[in-house]
Amino acid sequence: MKFTITREQLQEGLSAVAAAIPAKTTLPVLANVLVEVTKQGLRLSGTDLDIAVSTTVPAEVDAEGAVTLPAKKLVDIARELPSGPVRITAAGESRVGIECGRSKFKLLGLPREEFPSFPAVKFDGAWKAAAGVVHKLVGHVAFAASTEESRPILNGVLWELRPDHMRMVATNGHRLAKMDVPAKGGSTADLIVPPKALEQIRRLFAADEALEVARSDNHIGFRAGGTLVFSRLIEGPYPNYEQVIPRENDKVATVDKAGMAAALRRMSVVASDQTHRIRLAFSGGAVKFSVQTPDLGEAQDELAVTYEGEPLEIGFNATYLLEILKYMPTDEVRITFKAPERAATVEPVGWDDPASYMALVMPLRLVD
Amino acid sequence: MTTGRRILLADADAFYVAVARLVDPDGAGKARLLIVGGAPDRRGVVTSASYEARAYGVQSAMPMARAVRLCPGATVVPVPWEACADKGREIAAVLRRFTPAVEQASSDEFYLDLSGTERLYHDEPLAATARRIRDTVLAETTLSLSIGGATSKLVAKLAAGVAKPRPGSPSGGVHVVPPGAEAEFMLRFALADLPFVGPKFQERLARFGLRSVRDVVRHERETLVRWLGEREGEWLYQRVRGHDAAPVEPDREAKSVSRDETFPTDVDDDDALAAKLLVLADRASADLRDGGLVARTVSVKLRDADFITRQASRTLPDPVRSDRAVYAVARQLLARLRRARRVPARLLGVALSQLGAEGAEGQLSLLEREAGGIETERDRTISRVIDEVRGKFGPDALGRGGAQGR
C-alpha cells in the first residue's frame, strides 16, 4: 500500500466517516477507520455496527492495499500536519508510515480482516431523490420521534415511499409530525429508520446531490457521489397513525407563530418542571394563557388571534407546543381543536412549497 | 465537607410493641411477654418483641412458631400497621421542629442532620439537643426513642444501638460519639454489626480471618483491596474507621410500592397463583393510588418451595395506576416465571417502581386506543370508583371477581 494525498482531501474523507465511529467501544477494531487503497483512490470507512459510513476521495495511488488505523489518532495527525502532500505507505504488518514535509509518523493498526463487513444492500432499482428533499423531510419530522427505550418502534422515523409521493412520520405517542412531498417513480415500501442515520444523511450529502436509496431485508443504504451510508432498519409494524389524525376538528385558531412562542416561553417560566402544564383559553379574538403551579406561583398572558368556534379551554405541555412551532415553516400557523381531551393539529398557513406538513399534539388533562 | 457534621439517628424503642400496647391497652398493654407479628400457624414471622420476651431469645424475623416455643407464655398480636404509620408520622413531625433535614429510614428510624444549628441552639452540646428531642417526643407521643449522635450516619446508627435499653440495664437513651473519637468507638463492633454486611459477605470476610472491626484495622488498604476487590475493599477500609459521607436525605421518597404474601402452604396450581396475584396487584395498586402515585415498572417476585427466589420486571411506556393494568402486566410476568420453572411456590409478590406523582402525567396519549396503550381512561375511572367505595365501606367492600374465595 502506497499513496499520496493532499492534507485537505485526507481531512475531508476522515471527517465524513469519523462521526460514525464510536468514541467508546468494547470491540477495538470499531475505534479504527478502514483504509482501502484502490485504483479509484482512497476509500475510508467507519462503523458503530448500527450505522456505517464509507467515502472515496481522490489520491495518487502507487500500490493498492488495506489496513485499519485508530481513527482518532489519524484525525488528530491530519489536523496537525502542515499543508502539503501526505505520503502514506505500508510499513510492515498493520503498520503505516505517514510523511508530510519533514514530519514523519509510524502508526500501528489492526488487520483489515478484523473490520466488520458492510451490509449487502444492492442499489439496482434504487429510489432516487434530491438530497435536499430528504433533508426537508428529516428536518421537519425527525424531532418528534421518541427517545425512550420502552417502545423501540417509536424511536424510528417512518418513511413511506409511494409511486407518486414520499412521506415521513414520527411520534413519541404524545405528539406527531408528518410531511408529504411529491416524488416520481419508484416502488412502494415502508421503512422505519433510526433518526441517527437520517442525521448522517443531512450532514453528508449536499442539498443538490442526487441521492439513491436502497434496502435489503433489514438494512437501508444511501448513496451519492462517492459516499455511502448504511443503517439497520427498525423492525415494524409502525402504529396505525392515520387513525389518530383528527378529521373533525371544528375549532380553528390562526395565530402569529412568534407571538405565540414568546407567550409560551414566558408562561413556561412558572410552569411545573415536570408537566410544563399551561392552560390556553380561546374565545372571540384572543387566546388567554395561564399557568398555576402549587408552591411556585402563577402567570397570565394574552394574544390576539383569529378564532372560529365555541370557546375552548385546553391544557398542553408547553415544551411540546414550542417545539412544534419551532419547526413550522411559516410566520402564521393554524391550530385546530375538537375538545379539551382530543388531539390538536398545527399546520403552516400560506406555505409556498409543494410539500404538505402537519403536526399533532395531545393535550394535558386540566386539573382544577 | 463531611467533617463537623452533626447527625443523629433516632430509633423508637420496641416500636411495634409500644404501638400495639397503645392500640390495645387492656390486652397487649397488660402483657409483659408480648410478641408482635404473623400468626404461628400461617408461617408468620416475628416483627418485634417486648424486651422481656427478648430475654427468652425471641428475635425479630424469627419464625413465630419457633418464638412461641422459646417463650411459651407470650401473648402474640398482629402488627397494627396503620397505627404504626400514624405514630411514625407523629414522631417525624416533632423531629422536624428541630431540623428540616429529617430522613425517615424505616417506619421507626429517623436520621436528623443538625449541622449548622450550633448558633440556633446557642452552642448546646449535641447530646443535650438529643436529650431535648427525646423528652419532647416522649411527652407528645408517649413513645421512647434511643438516639445516637456522630459525624456520620454510620456511626450515629451504631451509637443508637449502644443507647438502646437492654433487659436489666436501663440506659439514658442517648449516646453521642464526639468528633475524632469515631475510630476508637468502632473497635468494639463485630463486622456483622455494620449495615450492609450480611451473612454472605461475613462468610467471605471470615475466610480472611476478618470477623471484627479490630481484625480489619490491622490491614493496609491495599491488602483489603487485593482480597475483596477495589469497591468492597475501599468500602470496608473506610467504614471500620467510621468514615461515611452519605448525606441525610430529607426528601427521600418511596422508590417502590410492593405487596407480597407467604402462603400458609405451598401453591402449585397456576390458576390459584393467578388468583393470589390478582389480590396482590389490587392491593399494591391501591397503595400506589393512596400515595397519589403512578408507576412505570411492574415486577413479580416468586419464591419457590426450595427458597430459590426469582423476579421478572417490565417497564411500560406510560405510567399506570389501575389494578387492571398492573394485573395484566403482572400476569404475563408470572407466566414467564412459571414457564421457566414450574415447582410449588412459597411466596408471591408484586412491586411497582419508577414512581411518579399522579399529577405529573395527565399527558393524554395519541396511541392509547391502539394495543400499545396498557391502561385506558376507563381503567382509571373504575379504579377511582373502587377507591371511593372502599373509602366509604371499608377495604373489603369491593374486590375483583377472579379473587373470590381468597
Tell me the shortest Cα–Cα distance from B377 to chain A, in angstroms: 11
CA distance A173 to chain B (A): 5
Does the pTM surpass 0.80? The reply is no
Rounded Cα gap, residues A75 and A44, in angstroms: 12
CB atoms A173 and B369 under 8 Å: no
Residue with cell 371544528: A250
CB-based contact A174 B362, cutoff 8 Å: no
For chain B, residues classed under CATH 3.30.1490.100 are 256-393
- Write out the residues of chain A at the interface with chain B, using a CB-CB cutoff of 8 A: 148, 150-151, 154, 171, 173-176, 239-241, 243-244, 272, 274-275, 277, 315, 317, 341, 343, 360, 362-365, 367
**For residue B361, what pLDDT is reported?**
59
Residues of B at the A interface, defined by Cβ within 8 angstroms: 296, 315-318, 356-357, 359-367, 369-370, 372
Length of chain A: 368
Q: Strands (DSSP E) along A186-295, which ranges?
A: 189-193, 210-215, 219-224, 227-232, 251-256, 277-283, 286-293
Task: Tell me if A305 sits within 8 A of A313, measured CB to CB.
Answer: no
**Element of type H or E holding B347:** strand B345-357
Q: Are A147 and A90 in contact (CB under 8 A)?
A: no
Note the pLDDT tens digit of each residue in B329-362: 999 999 999 998 899 999 999 999 888 777 555 7
CATH 3.40.50.300 fits domain B256-393:
no
Q: Is A92 helix (H, G, I), strand (E, B) or coil?
A: coil
- Name the closest residue on chain B to residue A241, using Cα atoms: B367
Residue carrying the nine cell digits 390562526: A254
Residue of B52, B82, B90, B109 with catalytic role: B109
Rounded to whole angstroms, the Cα distance separating B207 from A277 reads: 58
Distance of CA A139 to the CA centre of its chain: 7
Structure confidence at residue B367 (pLDDT): 78
Compare all CA atoms of chain A with the CA of B314 and give the residue at the minimum distance. Answer: A150
The pLDDT of residue B370 is: 46
Residues of A with CB below 8 A from B317's CB?
Answer: 148, 150-151, 154, 173
Subunit contact A151:B366, Cβ cutoff 8 A? no
* B360 interaction partners in chain A (CB closer than 8 Å): 272, 274-275
Distance of residue B314 Cα from the nearest chain A Cα, in angstroms? 9
pLDDT at B70: 92
Residue of A nearest to B319 (CA): A150
Domain(s) labelled CATH 3.40.1170.60 in chain B stretch across: 25-79
- Cell 429508520 -> residue: A193
Angle between helical axes of B323-340 and B377-393 (0-180°, round to 10)? 100
Going B338 to B343 to B345 to B346, the CA torsion angle's sign is negative
Instruction: Specify the residue for cell string 426537508.
Output: A136
The strands making up A297-304's β-sheet, listed across from edge to edge, are: A297-304, A286-293, A277-283, A312-317
| Nearest C-alpha neighbor of A323 from the set A142, A65, A164 | A142
At residue B377, the pLDDT reads 76
Closest residue of chain B to A361, computed from CA coordinates: B366
Asked if B109 is an active-site residue, the reply is yes
Which member of A176, A277, A317 has the closest CB to residue B366? A176
DSSP annotation of A149: S
Closest-CA distance, A232 to chain B, in angstroms, reads 23
What pLDDT does B60 receive? Answer: 84
Q: Output the CA–CA distances (angstroms, integers) from residue A192 to A210, A350, B42, B364, in the order listed.
A: 22, 30, 55, 24
Residues of chain A with C-beta less than 8 angstroms from the C-beta of B367 = 171, 173, 239, 241, 244
Nearest to B301 by CA among B283, B319, B281: B281
B362 vs A154, A239, A367: nearest CB:
A367
Distances (CA, A) of A15 to A11, A40, A58, A86: 6, 19, 15, 17
Burial B257-271 (b: 16+ CB within 10 A, else e): bbbbbbbeeebeeee
- pLDDT of the residue at A265: 96
Which residues in chain A are contacts of B357 at CB distance < 8 A?
Answer: 274
CATH code for the part of the protein at B25-79: 3.40.1170.60
A171: nearest CA in chain B?
B366
Rg (CA), chain B: 24
Q: Do B367 and A367 touch (CB under 8 A)?
A: no
**Nine-digit cell at A26?**
468494547
* pLDDT given at position B292: 80
Q: Are strands A51-57 and A227-232 parallel, antiparallel or unpaired?
A: antiparallel
Give the three-class secondary structure for A353.
coil
Out of B356, B357, B362, closest to residue A365 by CB: B362
pLDDT (tens, 9 = 90+) of chain A, 368 residues, equals 999 999 999 999 999 999 889 888 778 899 999 999 999 899 999 999 889 999 999 999 999 999 999 999 999 999 999 988 999 999 888 899 999 999 999 999 999 998 998 888 999 888 888 999 999 999 999 999 998 766 789 999 999 999 889 999 999 989 999 999 998 867 899 999 999 999 999 999 999 999 999 999 889 999 998 999 999 999 878 999 999 999 999 999 999 999 999 999 999 999 988 788 999 999 989 999 999 888 889 999 999 999 999 999 999 999 999 999 999 999 999 999 999 989 999 999 999 999 999 999 999 988 65
What pLDDT score does A368 carry? 59
**Residue A319 pLDDT:** 95
| Own/partner long-range contacts of A266-274 (Cβ < 8 Å, ≥24 apart) | A266/A299, A266/A301, A267/A291, A267/A299, A267/A301, A267/A318, A268/A318, A268/A319, A268/A322, A269/A299, A270/A296, A270/A297, A270/A298, A270/A299, A271/A318, A272/A296, A272/B359, A272/B360, A274/B356, A274/B357, A274/B360
Q: What is the pLDDT of residue B155?
A: 95
Tell me if B317 and A274 make a contact (CB, 8 A cut-off): no
Contact B367 A360 (CB under 8 A): no
C-alpha cell at A208: 443538490
AA letter at B197: V
One pLDDT digit (tens) per residue for chain B, 406 residues: 444 789 999 999 889 999 999 988 888 888 899 999 887 777 788 888 998 899 999 988 888 889 999 999 899 998 888 788 888 888 998 998 888 888 888 878 999 999 887 788 888 899 999 999 999 999 999 999 999 999 999 999 999 998 887 655 556 789 999 999 999 999 999 999 998 888 888 999 999 999 999 999 999 999 999 998 888 899 999 999 999 988 888 765 567 888 888 888 899 999 999 999 999 999 899 888 887 888 989 999 999 888 888 999 988 877 888 989 999 999 999 999 999 889 999 999 999 988 877 755 577 888 764 445 578 778 888 888 888 888 888 777 777 776 654 4
Which residues of chain B neighbour A360 with C-beta distances below 8 Å?
366
- Closest-CA residue of A relative to B369 is A244
ipTM field: 0.77
Looking at A119-221, list the stretches that DSSP marks H as alpha helix, in order from N- to C-terminal side: 131-141, 195-204
